[in-house]
């Protein structure tokens, strides 16, 4: 039976209000605010993820008290995992499918929770490991700050919601691989077991047999990451070879491990972490006889293509950080974390002392990461990365003259960098950020790069639940896309008005990108709520108020609204006009019909080719008479799926149909992009149509 056929058998057909029994391990239940998130198995052994929105704070105890393997009898809506809708956005559906998760369930009701009594020995052991891990994570929540984060990440393979924020320096300096439980951790685990049993005067033969049984349990206990599976299988092969009296070559061990891992998870090498894990492990086989400095340099060179393809940027201090931190980490930080975590649960003084030391270490890394040196490279073409990766492998294997290889690698990176940073194409892109607006307008060769609005979440707090700050869509979608294009600088950020779905992510954009000026509708620069949002992120003299008739220097936009100062309400929306790619464009914010009519009174000859429909297609905008005068060839609707406002309104869609105005809608089209070259008409692409 093929893997794909097996997947089709496990996949459930989407349906609503299905009654299902779901087996869940206690360490796979996560409560975030009022959202219960979990991973479990159906009776046919299909893995699913599920989410349940709690309405009553009293329900919290019902789930936080689950400390053993349970069956949940639920009623829920079955669907496929969410698909990405923007270029270079994290694709949850693909990632879940590669991990064997083929369905998502939105739980409407949890009817009952019953403990599972396993009958088979293997199930008893499996469930016992998950229970032990759950209890270890719960106990470690008592640990202070930095020690808790390091202990849970390094020893238990558990990461909380703020993991990447707390370890921002580790991430930016390319050290996050240290928190992927793999070879280093297996080596230390085996050393602890061996030394402990040697002290008890147990024979080497017995110790090796015990390790053969303990390593799979360690795999389950630490979260079961694929990188860890690789390290454990390679260790198991060596132990088994020792016990059976034959020698296994390292390259054969690696090949057998890769084969087994691929059989278990066929899409293994499609994931960034696995690419790094196996790529670095493979190259290490050929670097045992070189100095530590040269080994670190070559390992960084090996990892660079993978980092640029997935992360798009690289810090010049990464190499130095690896040289300094790797020895310190394995000799000091990891053992200190382990001792502090284990003993700190009983002796608070030890926990506080270790927490201070680890806190200093983490603050030092965060400080180094803030130093200049972050290069936003962009996403190179896959073909180019394959070439530099192969050349790097040749460099590792070559023992003679390697000057030409080094020069070719350097030249390849320079050519890719220039191609990304001096693109011949310009673009106008409407991001799919849910209910909100965010657009990119970029001229060829990046002569000007502008963003209109930032999007932002509309937070509707559930009373009685702790507020949770999720990663913004600006980080996961828009900034991610910009960095994939090598863009870390905006000439102008244009904010149409103050509403959170247009400007809520302004702080995130200002923290992650260099912005020359922020342009707002006149009067909004005095709005206290807006000023509070951007305080400390940009000087007030770079916040430029605009009104109709203004056109900032070197800006592609002419302002056609507002005509008088306001506070940034819908009716004060800044409306921008530009000509680009042989088309004329109008971006209207949330302007209402009165404002639209005022524009055509003041600009009676105004015509546009592309119109961003006001207020997400609401009936309060898109006046039929205004649309007749503007006579757009294309309309754009930016609105969230299943939004609570019913955008776009049926009345607006009927008006478009009557006037025969075709339109794109981010709800169904995802990210919408118009690309063009100088003085040439371009072409339209919609992400979901291109990626069905």
Confidence band, pLDDT 50/70/90 cuts, at residue 653? very high
Using alpha carbons, select from 100, 128, 84 the residue that is nearest to residue 40.
100
Place of tokens 């919290």: 60
Could you tell me the two tokens for 185?
């951790």
Q: What is the CATH number of domain 426-459+473-690?
A: 3.60.15.10
What integer pLDDT is reported at residue 547 of this predicted model? 95
CB–CB of 432/685 below 8 Å? Answer: no
> What mean pLDDT do residues 199-212 have?
85
Flag whether pLDDT at 179 surpasses 80: no
Of 196 and 421, the one with more pLDDT: 421
Of 136 and 266, the one with more pLDDT: 136
- How far does CA 516 lie from the centroid of its chain? 26
Distance between CA atoms of residues 660 and 654, nearest Å: 10
Task: Indicate the CATH number of 3-117 among 3.30.2310.20, 3.40.50.2300, 2.40.50.140, 2.60.120.10.
Answer: 2.40.50.140
Could you tell me the two tokens for 42?
């159906």
Least confident segment among 127-131, 226-230, 461-465 = 461-465
Confidence band, pLDDT 50/70/90 cuts, at residue 2? very low
Q: Return the DSSP state at 329.
A: I
Confidence band, pLDDT 50/70/90 cuts, at residue 470? low
What integer pLDDT is reported at residue 4 of this predicted model? 47
- Residue 36 forms beta bridges with which residues? 31, 52
Of 164 and 429, the one with more pLDDT: 429
Confidence band, pLDDT 50/70/90 cuts, at residue 466? low
Domain boundaries, the chain: 3-117, 426-459+473-690
What integer pLDDT is reported at residue 583 of this predicted model? 96
Flag whether pLDDT at 413 surpasses 60: yes
Least confident segment among 91-95, 462-466, 498-502 = 462-466
How far is CA 487 from each of CA 82, 416, 431, 644, 688, rounded to the nearest angstrom? Answer: 27, 14, 16, 34, 24
Could you tell me the two tokens for 57?
């704070």
Least confident segment among 16-20, 228-232, 408-412 = 228-232
What integer pLDDT is reported at residue 495 of this predicted model? 97
What integer pLDDT is reported at residue 458 of this predicted model? 63
- The mean predicted confidence, pLDDT, of the chain is 89
Confidence band, pLDDT 50/70/90 cuts, at residue 461? low
What integer pLDDT is reported at residue 5 of this predicted model? 44
Please list, in sequence order, all residues whose beta carbon lies within 8 angstroms of the beta carbon of residue 11, skipping any fewer than 6 positions away. 46, 102, 103
Distance between CA atoms of residues 216 and 224, nearest Å: 9
**Per residue, what are the HEC states of 545-567?**
EECCCCCCCCCCCEEEECCCCCC
**Per residue, what are the HEC states of 625-682?**
HHHHHHCCCEEEECCCCCCCCCCCCHHHHHHHHHCCCCEEEHHHHCCEEEEECCCCCC
What integer pLDDT is reported at residue 1 of this predicted model? 41
CB–CB of 4/11 below 8 Å? Answer: no
Residue 15 burial (CB count, 10 A) = 10
Confidence band, pLDDT 50/70/90 cuts, at residue 521? very high
Flag whether pLDDT at 188 surpasses 90: no
What integer pLDDT is reported at residue 3 of this predicted model? 43
Could you tell me the two tokens for 368?
């180094």
Confidence band, pLDDT 50/70/90 cuts, at residue 319? confident
* Long-range own/partner contacts, residues 138-145 (CB < 8 A, 24 or more apart): 138/67, 139/345, 140/341, 140/345, 142/345, 143/340, 143/341, 143/344, 143/345, 143/351, 143/355, 144/351, 144/352, 144/355, 145/355, 145/359
pLDDT tens-digit series, residues 325-339:
878 887 888 889 989
pLDDT tens-digit series, residues 605-647:
999 999 999 999 999 999 999 999 999 999 999 999 988 889 9
Distance between CA atoms of residues 128 and 71, nearest Å: 15
Sheet of 439-442: strands edge to edge?
543-546, 514-521, 489-494, 449-452, 439-442, 426-430, 672-676, 683-686
> What mean pLDDT do residues 399-417 have?
90
Flag whether pLDDT at 162 surpasses 80: no
> What mean pLDDT do residues 165-179 have?
77
């Amino acid at each position: 039976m093929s893997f794909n056929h097996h997947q089709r058998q496990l996949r459930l057909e989407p349906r609503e209000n299905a009654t299902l029994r779901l087996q869940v391990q206690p360490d796979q239940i996560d409560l975030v605010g009022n959202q219960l998130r979990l991973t479990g198995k159906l009776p046919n052994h299909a893995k699913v993820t599920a989410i349940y929105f709690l309405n009553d704070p009293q329900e919290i105890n019902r789930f936080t008290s689950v400390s053993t393997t349970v069956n949940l009898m639920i009623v829920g809506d079955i669907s496929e995992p969410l698909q990405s809708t923007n270029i270079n956005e994290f694709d949850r559906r693909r990632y879940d499918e590669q991990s064997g998760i083929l369905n998502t369930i939105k739980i409407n009701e949890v009817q009952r929770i019953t403990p599972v009594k396993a009958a088979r020995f293997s199930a008893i052991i499996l469930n016992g490991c998950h229970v032990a891990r759950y209890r270890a994570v719960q106990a470690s929540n008592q640990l202070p700050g930095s020690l808790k984060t390091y202990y849970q990440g390094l020893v238990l393979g558990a990461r909380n919601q703020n993991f990447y924020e707390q370890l921002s320096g580790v991430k930016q300096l390319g050290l996050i691989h240290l928190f992927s439980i793999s070879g280093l951790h297996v080596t230390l685990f085996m050393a602890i077991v061996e030394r402990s049993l040697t002290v008890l005067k147990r024979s080497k033969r017995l110790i090796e047999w015990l390790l053969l049984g303990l390593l799979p349990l360690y795999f389950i206990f630490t979260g079961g990451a694929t990188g860890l599976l690789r390290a454990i299988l390679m260790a198991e092969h060596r132990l088994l070879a020792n016990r059976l009296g034959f020698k296994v070559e390292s390259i054969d061990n690696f090949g057998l491990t890769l084969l087994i891992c691929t059989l278990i998870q066929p899409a293994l090498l499609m994931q960034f972490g696995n690419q790094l894990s196996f790529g670095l492990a493979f190259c290490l086989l050929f670097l045992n006889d070189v100095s530590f400095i040269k080994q670190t340099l070559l390992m960084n060179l090996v990892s660079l293509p993978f980092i640029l393809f997935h992360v798009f940027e690289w810090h010049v201090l990464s190499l130095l950080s690896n040289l300094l931190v790797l020895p310190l980490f394995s000799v000091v930080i990891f053992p200190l974390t382990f001792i502090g975590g284990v003993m700190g649960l009983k002796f608070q003084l030890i926990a506080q002392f270790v927490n201070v030391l680890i806190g200093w270490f983490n603050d030092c890394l965060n400080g180094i990461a803030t130093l200049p040196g972050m290069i936003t490279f962009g996403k190179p073409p896959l073909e180019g990365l394959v070439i530099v990766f192969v050349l790097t492998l040749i460099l590792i294997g070559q023992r003679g003259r390697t000057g030409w290889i080094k020069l070719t690698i350097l030249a390849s990176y320079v050519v890719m960098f220039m191609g990304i940073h001096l693109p011949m194409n310009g673009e106008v892109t409407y991001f799919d950020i849910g209910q909100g607006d965010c657009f990119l307008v970029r001229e060829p060769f990046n002569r000007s790069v502008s963003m209109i609005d930032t999007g932002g979440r509309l937070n509707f707090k559930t009373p009685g639940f702790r507020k949770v700050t999720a990663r913004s869509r600006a980080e996961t979608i828009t900034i991610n896309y910009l960095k994939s294009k090598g863009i870390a600088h905006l000439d102008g950020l244009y904010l149409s008005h103050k509403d959170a779905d247009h400007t809520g992510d302004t702080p995130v954009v200002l923290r992650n990108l260099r912005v020359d000026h922020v342009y707002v509708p006149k009067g909004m620069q005095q709005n206290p709520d807006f000023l509070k949002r951007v305080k400390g992120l940009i000087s007030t003299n770079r916040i430029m108020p605009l009104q109709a008739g203004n056109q900032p220097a070197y800006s592609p936009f002419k302002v056609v609204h507002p005509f008088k100062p306001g506070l940034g309400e819908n009716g004060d929306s800044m409306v921008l006009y530009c000509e680009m790619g042989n088309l004329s464009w109008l971006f209207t914010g949330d302007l209402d019909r009165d404002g639209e009519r005022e524009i055509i009174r003041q600009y009676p000859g105004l015509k546009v080719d592309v119109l961003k429909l006001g207020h997400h297609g609401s009936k309060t905008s898109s006046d039929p008479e205004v649309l007749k005068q503007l006579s757009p060839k294309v309309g754009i609707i930016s609105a969230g799926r299943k939004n609570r406002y019913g955008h776009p309104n049926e009345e607006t869609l009927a008006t478009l149909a009557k006037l025969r105005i075709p339109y794109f809608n981010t709800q169904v089209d995802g990210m919408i992009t118009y690309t063009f070259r100088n003085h040439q008409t371009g072409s339209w692409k919609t992400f979901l149509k291109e990626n069905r």
